[in-house]
A and B are shown apart, each in its own frame.
Chain A
């Protein structure tokens, strides 16, 4: 659910240092004369109207004080209010239409409060707090909250109760709002009033086709936006992006060499700015806009924060041949959307660098290599993930992260193979010893005689993933690992899993050996190499289910 809070502010008491008791107006000059575009409370009470000519106003109130409008003051107050309202939500959209067209000195803001009301003690408390804050700042304020931006706008102005509108529940309240709550233009409002349509329910009950024919598409659009049936695009205020350089060329750049020189100059400028602010960029976007409007975008991401212009030039130069200048590039935009703080780097002969070169040069090397890799190629720093399952015990970390000392928390675990075969390759057990351990197996069409075997090491599936399973010992994902030494001299990591079979197994005992649970589990033990690391064996049960053993090679030891 989306909650919007709209606050309408009237900034009349803040525009000047005049005492609030003296009636005054703010005026604007247009081609017809001087126009009222803001009124104080006293002027309102005297009967003055927004949009009134100054001569008319003086005829009503001869000693009226008028002040010329200062557009810069509006902008400064808006910025100040946005900074203040930032404490409630980072998504603040000023009501630009109201700022432009309103002649009563009003302004408004939308705050996207989805999922954030509980932080301020609920919706009612939030509204009260926002009103109190703005009143303290010297603005008169009305606030409302609703599910859509349009409804919140209307709610802030026309809701008689607690100014919170939840649409399916408060449908009747919404129907009683005046049509001014739809944010329509004055012409349409005049037509609606002339037709006797004064409330929202009058519009909502009319046939939609007739409305569009008579009044245009705007009414239905605003009505649908009010009820949340159409999206509302708000101009959210974003913080300034200082890491953007825009360069326009009166004479379009038609030559690739000219383009490259221009880009190099802009990169150098950006990097100087970054160095002055002790920042480094992680991503840079270059947009070359052609005269025909086509924009070619080149994006580059670095592994660490970078402020070196030659390095960025080199990375960009590899992608610049893809830019088609066509009839000329008339605008270049260089933008660094991802900028990080760089710790102070002292370029000296410090001995705290790695064996060859330093970390900056290493990161630049990985950047150069990484930009050449294809979609299936990977460049990563192997990390350790706390998981006993072998294929999940390692993860891939970005190369930009600082090298952590290779630590293995589970260092006391049994040895791990140096090469992992993932996914495991199934093997066939050709012969077994009398106690059930494999004696000969076939892997990759090679018959391997097992000369030594040790194990098992039992790895159970993670219990938090299999909460419903009672017996882990017989779980399908429980694995037993054995070290086996074959006659060629290799040490293999053999994995055994059990698979439940609902019916009696086939009688092919030599290639797919199966056993009943009633028997003891085939504990592999051979001449002298048995060392059971985990002595947790399945308990014997009276069960007629049959389990099939699946053996596979999962790795090779050094």
Chain B
């Protein structure tokens, strides 16, 4: 009797969350797609779904500059389709596998200055197996808004499990996935795949793959204080596929 009551309460609470827009509804949150990000980039043309999926697995390939990758992950953790006033202090879990990325560890005082008010919880884990298990458990529970995972390379099975767990709990999972230059990028069921590289005094943000994704790249800057990733020069990016290529995005999806 008590368990049935708890189930009913949980269902009611989830329904209320969805009604108030605090949690994306089922079906991967398609109704709450993120259409604008990185300053004011219109993401619609690059995704067959019509925007960046707010939940599910997203990967950021890191090769050379782990700090920019970390900043991008932190920025993407705070991306919302619509700013809702009730959504205060979402929990962000940063799972770090030791020695997965070799350029130091996340330094929280840099995040404290950022205006994104997140309830940050960190994990440092020795083995990849434990890290993946913890992420799956946290994603399934639905209690955590975004999980950021630093790990060594993992196989398709693990990625699929993480994706399913994210769909079950409506959680966003951002994986910092190490990638060597010249190596083939392993397949993955991730919704989107990103890469950020230094380019002169700017950085080049690339959308390199995903499900129904049209690749693109932008020249961006990262604000060191607020950790906002924004397009550096809109004029230089004006030739990127805009509204006129909206239809072609559906024709040429790239599966990476």
Contact = CB atoms under 8 A, between A and B. Distances in A.
Of the candidates A355, A369, A406, the one having the most CB atoms from chain B within 10 angstroms of its own CB is A355
Contacts of B91: 354-356, 362, 403
A378 B131 CA distance: 11
Contact of B71 (A355, A361, A372, A558): A558
Of the candidates B104, B141, B144, B224, the one having the most CB atoms from chain A within 10 angstroms of its own CB is B104
Contacts of A558: 67-68, 70-71, 110, 222, 224, 227
A381 B122 contact: yes
A417 interface: yes
Interface in B122-179: 122-127, 130, 133-134, 137-138, 141-145, 170-171
A369 B20 CA distance: 29
A377 B111 contact: no
Interface stretch (A68-76, A156-164, A408-416, A457-465): A408-416
Contacts of B185: none
Interface string B105-131: 111111111000111111111110010
B138 A365 contact: yes
A357 B140 CA distance: 12
Contact of B107 (A361, A365, A420, A485): A420
B198 to A, nearest CB: 2
A558 B205 CA distance: 13
Interface string A348-391: 01010011111001100110110011101111111010000010
B130 A374 contact: yes
B59 interface: no
A362 B9 CA distance: 16
B127 A408 contact: no
A90 B57 CA distance: 57
Contact of A382 (B68, B108, B199): B108
Interface stretch (B10-18, B35-43, B233-241): B10-18
Contacts of A393: 109
B64 interface: yes
* Chain A interface size, under 10 / 10 to 19 / 20 to 34 / 35 or more: 35 or more
Contacts of B9: 347
Nearest to A554: B104
A530 interface: no
Contact of B109 (A351, A416, A422, A485): A416
A488 B64 contact: yes
A357 B142 contact: yes
B113 A373 contact: no
A384 B107 contact: no
Interface in B68-102: 68, 70-71, 74, 86-91, 98
Nearest to B140: A365
Contacts, number: 183
Contacts of B137: 365, 368-369
Nearest to A376: B126
Interface residues of B, number: 68
B111 A406 contact: yes
A356 B90 CA distance: 7
A349 B90 CA distance: 17
A422 B65 contact: no
Given A382-B120, A422-B104, A489 B198 contact: yes
Contacts of A421: 103-104
Contacts of B90: 354-356
A419 interface: yes
A23 interface: no
A380 B237 CA distance: 41
B23 interface: yes
Contact of A419 (B70, B130, B141, B199): B70
A407 interface: yes
B143 to A, nearest CB: 4
A62 interface: no
B109 A378 contact: no
B144 A365 contact: yes
B132 to A, nearest CB: 12
Contacts of A490: 64-65, 67, 198
A393 B113 CA distance: 14
Nearest to B12: A349
Nearest to A405: B117
A518 interface: no
A242 interface: no
A486 B87 CA distance: 40
A380 B130 contact: no
A481 to B, nearest CB: 13
A123 B125 CA distance: 55
Contacts of A382: 108, 120, 122
Contacts of A354: 88-91, 119
Contacts of A555: 104, 107
A557 interface: yes
A95 B174 CA distance: 66
A57 B91 CA distance: 81
Contacts of B142: 356-357
A373 B130 contact: yes
Interface string A154-172: 0000000000000000000
A528 to B, nearest CB: 13
A417 B16 CA distance: 40
Given A355-B23, A558-B67, 8 more contacts: A347-B9, A355-B90, A356-B91, A356-B143, A357-B143, A362-B91, A365-B138, A408-B113
23 contacts: A354-B89, A355-B22, A356-B90, A356-B143, A356-B170, A361-B143, A362-B144, A380-B123, A384-B109, A384-B112, A390-B107, A393-B109, A406-B112, A408-B113, A418-B71, A419-B67, A419-B104, A421-B103, A488-B64, A489-B65, A556-B103, A558-B70, A558-B71
Interface of B: 3, 9, 12-13, 16-17, 20, 22-23, 64-68, 70-71, 74, 86-91, 98, 103-113, 117-127, 130, 133-134, 137-138, 141-145, 170-171, 197-201, 203, 222, 224-225, 227
**A-B pairs with lowest CB-CB distance, top 10:** A489-B198, A558-B71, A382-B108, A556-B67, A421-B104, A420-B107, A419-B104, A355-B90, A403-B119, A357-B143
